[in-house]
Chain A
């Protein structure tokens, strides 16, 4: 029922069929020598990363290591300085940013829900305004997505009337409704009350099981260990170490990762 029962992630490519639930068709994601800068300061240097379709990659590392910047480079909320991002094998830098972003879902630490819209409108907004779906159809799909994250009864609530966990689930539903090929999570549970963290993490793990390609920046080491197919440790704008959860957590090679793990575990 929970994360603990899902430890057998080594079998991730032979996904167990989930009855009555639609599966996703995640695309592959590849970063090639991605370098990103704010002004003259390079915050990400030569990061290369390969995320196979339908797998989950967790990015861990101390604050200021460039994890969030990396996510923002993938959907070009911040334009990379050099290098390339390949979505389903094609360069993301050659696509129009708006089109690219409609194919990549993103979930933020502080939810960023639209406060003057209800939960339902939050989910439906991009469906009609970006996908051009008729409003009634958009609302219908939004309702289904909300039901999937357990919020069918709260569809008409505004964000301020929802708890942090509920808000984050609306945000996930909002991103999922666009039928993205890849989901980016930027510390999605860092702002949540402790008792609500697990629910959101379970939801994310469920997406992974259903075939979504996910890039997850997280401080939840338990989640990374149990759910990730690949864990990437970053520090000072570089990938220091990457591999399976077992590799990194049980047998860290670099001194920096050893130090980091000794602080957080």
Chain B
């Protein structure tokens, strides 16, 4: 059973795991969450702009949105992160200081916004055309009908897809380490990686992996829950009732329908 103990020592060295745990909790997890949540919030805001532009009747809004989406969806995340993280480093220095951390978040946000924009666009376009028409027929402007009726319905539909996107962002946030983070800015992967190099043992990385799973797996199940809930919605539980009852209700309640010759 030599190979078994090798595996245990390489991947499941509990001593090494326990040693890295405080750092993973205090630094890694915190930074991973900060980066992911910030990138998601900015990504959702930008994504909504891109989506609304993408379905606009105006070509001058549609085409730029299309190009933006193709660009950031088509490039590998690591390439975008490096180009933006290093390319704008000087620019960022004058605003945020020397840390590449904000640029990493921005790069992730841009990538996320391209995906989220497509998610929103699909959701908004899946809303029945009659909804917009009903709004317009009531005299609402295009902007109002989108903002008050169509977009909220579309967004509700894609909440599960957004959670999936958040999971993808959590995983992609590990790529920010390429920009060279300060010790206190390291996210889960970098903390695990550093400890693994120091101890010559992969267990800290396994521990980091467990942390990722702790974030992502519950979310995947939350997605399923959301999916069911939003697909069926809240219903008033009601026994099937006869249509004749409604005929009676109408006759009894409505002054309009009781004829004028009574």
Seen from chain A, the residues whose Cβ lies within 8 Å of a Cβ on chain B are: 1-2, 5-6, 16, 18, 20-21, 75, 77, 97-106, 108, 110, 112-116, 125-126, 129-130, 147-153, 157, 160-161, 163, 165-166, 169, 171, 174-175, 178, 193, 195-196, 198-199, 202-203, 206-207, 209-210
Contact = CB atoms under 8 A, between A and B. Distances in A.
B256 A148 contact: yes
B134 A112 contact: yes
A168 to B, nearest CB: 11
Judged by DSSP, the binding face of B is: helix
A150 B249 contact: yes
Task: Name the residue in A99, A163, A199 with the highest tally of chain B Cβ atoms < 10 Å from its Cβ.
Answer: A199
A178 B138 contact: yes
A101 B137 CA distance: 5
Interface of B: 128, 130-131, 133-141, 144, 148-149, 152-153, 156, 233, 235-236, 238, 243-244, 246-247, 249-262
B256 A21 contact: yes
14 contacts: A5-B261, A20-B255, A77-B136, A97-B136, A106-B137, A114-B149, A126-B140, A148-B254, A148-B255, A152-B253, A165-B243, A174-B138, A199-B257, A202-B256
Contact of A112 (B130, B148, B253, B262): B130
Contact of A195 (B238, B243, B249): B243
Nearest to B135: A126
A104 B136 CA distance: 11
Contact of A129 (B134, B148, B261): B148
Contacts of B260: 6, 16, 18, 206, 209
Nearest to B149: A114
Contacts of A178: 138-139
A98 B144 CA distance: 11
Nearest to A131: B139
A160 B233 contact: yes
Given A114-B131, A195-B244, A129 B256 contact: no
Given A129-B144, A199-B251, A203-B250, 16 more contacts: A98-B141, A101-B137, A112-B128, A116-B153, A116-B156, A125-B148, A130-B138, A130-B139, A149-B256, A153-B253, A160-B235, A163-B243, A165-B246, A175-B137, A178-B138, A195-B243
The 6 closest A-B pairs by CB, nearest first: A102-B139, A150-B253, A150-B254, A112-B134, A112-B130, A126-B138
B131 A101 contact: no
A240 B101 CA distance: 73
A190 to B, nearest CB: 14
A149 B252 CA distance: 11
A100 B152 CA distance: 26
Contacts of B247: 195-196, 198-199
Contact of B243 (A2, A193, A209): A193
B246 A126 contact: no
A130 B140 contact: yes
